[in-house]
Chain A
Amino acid sequence: MAAKRSVIPFGPQHPVLPEPIHIDLVTEDEKVIEAIPSIGFVHRGLEHLVTKKDFGEMVYVAERICGICSFGHGYGYVDAIEHIMNIEPTNRAKYIRTLLFELSRMHSHILWLGLMADAFGFESLFMETWKYREKVLDMLEAATGGRVIFSIMRIGGLRKDVPDEVLQGFLPGLDEIEEGIKACEKAFLSDPAVLSRLKGVGYLSKEDAIDLGCEGPFLRASGVARDNRTSGYAAYGDMDFEVITSDDGDSYGRCYVRIQEIYQSAGIVRQCIEKMPKEGIYVPIKGFPNGEYMTIIEQPRGGACYYVHASGKKFIERMRVRTPTFANIPALAKTLQGCDVADVPILVVTIDPCISCTER
């Protein structure tokens, strides 16, 4: 009997999805022929808040673009305003920002590993990875006072200093996390049952990844060495690290890149603690921002752009954010073509979707 085409709606509320995204899957038997994503369930109209909150308060709004990469969003906005106002934060502020950025990246990647394990049905591995994520959150809480939303960013520096004793206390924790992730890595990268779910699933070639404008670990897993941290914003210029890539281009490669980036981030955190300068953390600001600036940073999910336009008033004119998940959705639709229906949850998770960033 010839296969009949049918459309299966996937989402917005679905057991595997922590966040609402809706995909219409056009299928023939068990194969997906076409995937049509639609978004907009989490749209709040956050960018419009610039007309109601002044440019200092907007830092806290920017942090709430997303609860997972909240530090990065706060950083992107503050960085743009600081460039407009010609403020150079102190080195200590830059180092602490870098450190917190990398801790955020670690917790985001470990979170992703857990969700991935959940997506391929390995519940105990999900629990195991999230156990180590709590240790990262402990460090972030010790440094900032918050678990997921930190509110430590401020235009001109930081709201509070992180004492050196607290920073030194992170070192044993980092070792413990690395050991734990090494143990989990065996399951992700060499367990035959897991490999059968990852190897060759959702292949994306290097050319396609570039053409479709992918970002972040999704792009690097297809063998393109692009990482905005190499531009040296914050204190990344002083740090020693190499861009991690994989030539696999499939779900396995994406797993590999993210696991290696956890170790890389732990390394950068150690370098930050080692080289931490001793000085103030805040440069006073004067007046209101006037001008425009666009900054690009590397979020855990890929490059994110922040555009700010200000005209010397208390309220800025326009803030625009372009997020990595948005850039990855066309590639997701491409990788979904030709996959099995049972693999759809895994492929949706491999782009590490962050819908609340995307829709704001």
Chain B
Amino acid sequence: MRISKSPWLLHYDGSSCNGCDIEVLAATTPRFDVERFGIINTGNPKHADIFLCTGGVNSQNQDVIRQIYDQMPDPKVVLACGICACDGGIFKDCYNILGGTDTVIPVDVYVPGCAVRPEALIDGVVKALKLLDEKADKMKRGEYRSMTSAEYAEALKIKGQLAEAADTEEKDA
């Protein structure tokens, strides 16, 4: 049985304006009804396969997002829902916004929009399902384990150092 036949969603409101959260909920209600595909909105991170994160990351909720992500079992995919979750959106210049979801955890699918429409969201989830199956197959062969948030932070740090080094090299040249 493929995991994509019945993936469970977990939704967390980062620091969004509510618009995207309401659209996430609306996607599960009769008009759009993703539940007919076996997609269930759950509140428990340990039951979830797909993490829908809305809104940017701020200093108070970054640990919450990391904890939720680390608690989810493998295989898992992360969707950044809405433009704020993609890169900060209209709130990018705010003093309390660190950036999009990918500043703290790895993101697999980006769904832009302000507010994101349920149709776009469903499209994003369908794309995520493919990734979920791929990850499950790799896991069976013992080739894959998802990054923890601490490893991701380390990777970001190294990436930042490399970029800095490249910048100084360019300047020297």
Interface string of B45-68 (1 = CB under 8 A from A): 100000000011010110010001
Contact of A20 (CB < 8 Å), options: B20, B31, B64, B94? B64
Residues of A near B55 (CB, < 8 A) are 42
Residues of A near B12 (CB, < 8 A) are 13, 20
Interface string of B13-29 (1 = CB under 8 A from A): 11111111111011001
| CB–CB B13/A49 < 8 A | no
A149 interfacial contact with B, CB 8 Å: yes
Residues of A near B18 (CB, < 8 A) are 19, 66-68, 354, 356
| CB–CB B93/A52 < 8 A | yes
A60 interfacial contact with B, CB 8 Å: yes
Interface string of B110-143 (1 = CB under 8 A from A): 0000110100000000000000000000000000
A18 interfacial contact with B, CB 8 Å: yes
Residues of A near B13 (CB, < 8 A) are 18-20, 42, 355-356
Q: How far is the CA of A355 from the CA of B64 in the complex (A)?
A: 16
Residues of B near A60 (CB, < 8 A) are 90
Stretch at the interface among A127-135, A241-249, A253-261, A273-281: A127-135
Closest to A69 in B: B18
| CB–CB B58/A44 < 8 A | yes
B44 interfacial contact with A, CB 8 Å: yes
Q: Which of A273-301 contact B (CB under 8 A)?
A: none
Residues of B near A313 (CB, < 8 A) are none
A333 interfacial contact with B, CB 8 Å: no
Q: Which of A330-360 contact B (CB under 8 A)?
A: 354-356
Q: Which of A33-85 contact B (CB under 8 A)?
A: 40-46, 48-49, 52, 60-61, 64-68, 70
Contact of B94 (CB < 8 Å), options: A16, A44, A130, A355? A44
| CB–CB B17/A13 < 8 A | no
| CB–CB B15/A42 < 8 A | yes
| Category for how many chain B residues contact A | 35 or more
Residues of B near A130 (CB, < 8 A) are 25-26, 29-31
| CB–CB A15/B29 < 8 A | no
Residues of A near B17 (CB, < 8 A) are 64-67, 70, 149, 356
| CB–CB A12/B19 < 8 A | no
B95 interfacial contact with A, CB 8 Å: yes
B161 interfacial contact with A, CB 8 Å: no
Residues of A near B95 (CB, < 8 A) are 45, 48
| CB–CB A134/B31 < 8 A | yes
Least distance between B37 CB and chain A CB atoms (Å):
16
| CB–CB B90/A61 < 8 A | yes
Interface string of B84-119 (1 = CB under 8 A from A): 000000110111110000000000000000110100
A111 interfacial contact with B, CB 8 Å: yes
Known: A15-B43, A46-B91. A149 touches B114 (CB 8 A): yes
Residues of A near B31 (CB, < 8 A) are 130-131, 134
Residues of B near A61 (CB, < 8 A) are 90
| CB–CB A41/B64 < 8 A | yes
Residues of B near A354 (CB, < 8 A) are 18
A159 interfacial contact with B, CB 8 Å: no
Closest to B59 in A: A43
Closest to A131 in B: B30
Q: How far is the CA of A40 from the CA of B15 in the complex (A)?
A: 9
A25 interfacial contact with B, CB 8 Å: no
A14 interfacial contact with B, CB 8 Å: yes
Interface residue ranges, A against B (CB under 8 Å): 12-16, 18-20, 40-46, 48-49, 52, 60-61, 64-68, 70, 111, 114, 126-128, 130-131, 133-134, 137, 146-149, 354-356
Interface residue ranges, B against A (CB under 8 Å): 12-23, 25-26, 29-31, 42-45, 55-56, 58, 60-61, 64, 68, 90-91, 93-97, 114-115, 117
11 additional A-B pairs beyond A13-B43, A43-B96, beta carbons within 8 Å, are A13-B68, A18-B22, A45-B95, A46-B91, A49-B91, A67-B18, A67-B115, A68-B18, A70-B19, A111-B22, A147-B23
| 17 A-B residue pairs with CB within 8 Å | A12-B64, A18-B21, A40-B60, A41-B61, A42-B14, A44-B56, A44-B97, A49-B91, A127-B30, A130-B26, A131-B30, A133-B26, A147-B117, A148-B115, A356-B13, A356-B15, A356-B17
